[in-house]
A and B are shown apart, each in its own frame.
Chain A
Amino acid sequence: MANEYCTPLDITQIERNFAEINPAMSVPEALQEASRCLYCYDAPCMHSCPTHIDVPGFIKRIASGNVTGAAKLIFDANPIGASCARVCPVEVLCEGACVEKTLVKKPIEIGRLQRFATDHALSGGKQIFEKGESNGKSVAIIGSGPAGLSCASYLARLGYDVTVYEKRAKAGGLDTYGMAEYKMPQTVSLSEVEQVEKLGVKFVLNSEIGEEQAGRLRSGHDAIFLATGLGATNRLGIPGEELDGVVDALAFIEQVKTRDWKSVPLGQNVIVLGAGNTAIDAVTQAKRLGAEKVTLVYRRTEKDAPAYEYEMELARKDGIEFRWRTTPVEILGDGRVAGLRISDSDGTVSDIACDQVIKAIGQTKMSRFYNDVIGIETDEKGRVKVNEKMQTSDAKVFAGGDCVNGGAEAVDASQMGKHAAMGIHEMLTGEKVEFAGAILREPPKAPVDPNPH
């Protein structure tokens, strides 16, 4: 049908609105920035990166003209280093810890330098790491998001036969489907998937694991790594939730990421429920897509909003309206959304008009799948229980990523995938292996001169 329920903007304008907010660096820009790096020892940025990338090491390599070496150092510690360069909350991680931030209030642009190096390596389509010599063991990975890709990459480098099962049509998980389009286009995530494929990892797409398949995975592989992420978006549990025009934030973002702009259902007066980072991705993209008015509704105060401050700032700049301490009571409309009934902090109920409601109120945990289908234990919050080696209550099953931590950054999931690969290898071979950035130790102290000066 001719879609009136879509963007009113012309394509050129939308493309402009969705240009990457952290654009690529030119060579002189990268060299200039890289040379600013102090090359700290046991650097704070490296400590604050969940995958402990040797940041000064890769920046030094950029500065010396060894950009391929820089990328290798990055991917060695983080197989999704190109995605992370774009979607990491660097303000609170590496760049937040940069001593240049302390010194001159201007941290090194680590994220963009990381992008410079990884783009350089990925653009040629060259293979970055080699598949290890086959050790005859096979591992099944459920889920191809950051945790799954990371684990697959390390295991393949060790010589494992790895098969990744992915329920969707494309691999990459949230890096492919869930990142705001102005932060990262799908192609970046897919190029990382391609690197993992080049290591000989098999991807079985459109393949959701049910009870029967789970049994087969168990018997057909030496170990299983669960990287399933989170489940469906939570229900609001208020009347009107089924109305036409009520959508999940993740579904909305996924549609934006097709870049088939006119096909994205979009209201002119959009309300987004929630104030996490996904809510920000929803409000900003609705606005950039051309919604006339976008309002973020959150039941608690601005201070309580879980979104990062720099994300909030982005929303403010995009002209989003905020309704704090406002609880949705009912979604109004006859077949289609026409308004939202809200209750203020003092209990006053009123109606606000809208023609689309986007829910960004968190995702469910798939505890039933873990408990009943896989047969492993979860904690009181429905998260998979693991030990420090990412091993679940079933010794052959490991887990990592959002299904374990309840929802965090891609970079956290990547680190868990790395630890799981180490854990799986140890479980299956008895041999301990340590990948780059797995553990950060205090630098060893040099012995002092035994002779007096």
Chain B
Amino acid sequence: MADLTTNFAGIKSPNPFWLASAPPTNMGSMIERAFDAGWGGAVWKTLGEPITNVSSRLAGLDSGPTRLIGLNNIELITDRPLEVNLKEMAECKRKYPNHAVIASLMVESKKEAWQEITKRTQDTGCDGFELNFGCPHGMSERGMGAAMGQVPEYTCMVTEWVKEVAEIPVIVKLTPNVTHIVPPGRAAQNGGADAVSLINTINSVMGVDVDTLVPYPNVNGMAAHGGYCGTAVKPIALNMVSELARDAEFNIPISGIGGINTWRDAVEFMLLGAGNVQVCTAVMHYGYRIVEDMIDGLNTYLDSKGYASVGDIVGKSVNRVTDWGNLDLNYVVKAHVNEDKCVQCNLCYVACDDGAHQSFVFRETDGKRYPYVVEEECVGCNLCYLVCPSPGAITMERRDAGGPTQSWRERTNGQ
């Protein structure tokens, strides 16, 4: 059994799986149930001046019969009185001393307000803060959330305010609704943040009811953009995590968030530089119990790869991400159809013809018609391999001689 305990920016937890600040962490009793189910930590639903929510609040993106590959949410921060939350937080921390209890904070952009809530919350004995500079809907219209995170100077400034009074680690939660994630990440670091977490949710309009013509989620005939999360956002989150992880000036820990459903997703985030991960949408869909397989699967993976501790994988793939200009132009792969595994759906054929480089023809083998790759035409793009439903029927095979590598950068510098 590998060691799953983590020390994230000084915050210890029995495993790297935290619940993100969201509906599943709305109150003490929920978080206590989550800890009982196996979660290592939880970031409390953002504390601040209690708000009034609308109904309805959520909308989903389905893929065929697969529900909720994406979710969007227009629920705001906590609607519960601060005293109640703080009382429950203290109680929860007392009951679960070995779990990570993190307080998410968001108040108006005034030094006194931030410092007051920081101090009051600190008294609960919680393990750390997460500053919510990411919420893209509702709160941002009031100058909070993403409105902070989108301006690096504000991010730095508020982080400094909190750090002046905080005695426990401060994590800054970043919004993905920016052109480039590195400046706000560096700003958090410059403000003294002990870590960052990302991504918060993405601005989104989920869709339109084509019968009523009202977009989702319908609030009395109207809709507003909401925060997008779930499986569909994972690639965006992985990009942002890796951008920060490979930034030479950025060197504080990253808590990875965005579309994590399984141990495998978590491993991917950690390989690209996340010190731990936070999960929300998958729990909103299936409940706290999903952590069981996350823990078990992570353990099995680490054991099978010979890693003694989960910390050993953090950042292992960061140096495998580079700029396009550094990629090897001399590396050549070609698609190959393995007829014994081909089921003759011909999706590779049409995908290549209409979506790629017209490299397929049909060929008869033993009276059956199979797609066949004309290698001279194949550019090795992967599309056929990606659409093929039959594992192993299409393989991408190396065809260069294995000679010296040359990147675009090298090629153009040489001119």
B312 at interface by CB-CB < 8 Å: no
A35 partner, pick from B64, B346, B347, B354, beta carbons under 8 A: B64
Complex Cα distance, B377 from A43, in Å, reads 24
Are B343 and A449 in contact, CB atoms less than 8 angstroms apart?
Answer: no
Query: Which residues of chain A in 81-140 are interfacial with respect to chain B, using CB atoms and an 8 Å cutoff?
Result: 99, 102-103
> How far does the Cβ of A39 sit from chain B's closest Cβ, in whole Å?
7
A432 at interface by CB-CB < 8 Å: no
The interface residues of chain B lying within 8 Å CB-to-CB of A41 are 345-347, 349-350
A42 at interface by CB-CB < 8 Å: yes
Q: Pick from B65, B66, B361, B379 the residue with the most CB of A within 10 Å.
A: B65
The interface residues of chain A lying within 8 Å CB-to-CB of B357 are 448-449, 453
Whose C-beta in chain B lies nearest to the C-beta of A34?
Answer: B64
> How far does the Cβ of A38 sit from chain B's closest Cβ, in whole Å?
5
B379 partner, pick from A43, A447, A453, beta carbons under 8 A: A453
> How far does the Cβ of B335 sit from chain A's closest Cβ, in whole Å?
14
How many chain A residues touch B (CB < 8 A): the figure is 23
How many chain B residues touch A (CB < 8 A): the figure is 22
A442 partner, pick from B64, B362, B374, B390, beta carbons under 8 A: B362
Are A102 and B346 in contact, CB atoms less than 8 angstroms apart?
Answer: no
The interface residues of chain B lying within 8 Å CB-to-CB of A39 are 347
Are B65 and A449 in contact, CB atoms less than 8 angstroms apart?
Answer: no
The interface residues of chain B lying within 8 Å CB-to-CB of A449 are 357-358, 377
B353 at interface by CB-CB < 8 Å: yes
B65 partner, pick from A31, A99, A102, beta carbons under 8 A: A31
The interface residues of chain A lying within 8 Å CB-to-CB of B353 are 445-446
Are A40 and B379 in contact, CB atoms less than 8 angstroms apart?
Answer: no
Complex Cα distance, B305 from A375, in Å, reads 82
Complex Cα distance, B66 from A453, in Å, reads 39
Complex Cα distance, B368 from A99, in Å, reads 13
Residues 38-57 of chain A, each 1 if its beta carbon lies under 8 Å from chain B, else 0: 11111110000000000000
Complex Cα distance, B307 from A411, in Å, reads 62
Are B354 and A102 in contact, CB atoms less than 8 angstroms apart?
Answer: no
Are A42 and B354 in contact, CB atoms less than 8 angstroms apart?
Answer: no
> How far does the Cβ of B114 sit from chain A's closest Cβ, in whole Å?
49
The interface residues of chain B lying within 8 Å CB-to-CB of A99 are 343-345, 389
A263 at interface by CB-CB < 8 Å: no
Residues 224-262 of chain B, each 1 if its beta carbon lies under 8 Å from chain A, else 0: 000000000000000000000000000000000000000
Are A44 and B344 in contact, CB atoms less than 8 angstroms apart?
Answer: yes
A25 at interface by CB-CB < 8 Å: no
The interface residues of chain B lying within 8 Å CB-to-CB of A28 are 65
Whose C-beta in chain B lies nearest to the C-beta of A442?
Answer: B362
A32 at interface by CB-CB < 8 Å: yes
The interface residues of chain A lying within 8 Å CB-to-CB of B358 are 446-449
Residues 352-390 of chain B, each 1 if its beta carbon lies under 8 Å from chain A, else 0: 011001110110000000000010010100000000011
> How far does the Cβ of A29 sit from chain B's closest Cβ, in whole Å?
10
The interface residues of chain A lying within 8 Å CB-to-CB of B65 are 28, 31-32, 35
Are B390 and A103 in contact, CB atoms less than 8 angstroms apart?
Answer: yes
B389 partner, pick from A38, A42, A63, A445, beta carbons under 8 A: A38
> How far does the Cβ of A444 sit from chain B's closest Cβ, in whole Å?
9
Are B346 and A42 in contact, CB atoms less than 8 angstroms apart?
Answer: yes
- Interface residues, chain A, with chain B CB atoms under 8 Å away: 28, 31-32, 35, 38-44, 63, 99, 102-103, 442-443, 445-449, 453
- 6 interchain pairs, CB-CB under 8 A: A35-B65, A38-B347, A41-B346, A43-B346, A99-B344, A443-B349
- 8 closest residue pairs by CB, A with B: A35-B64, A41-B350, A40-B345, A41-B346, A99-B343, A102-B343, A446-B353, A448-B358
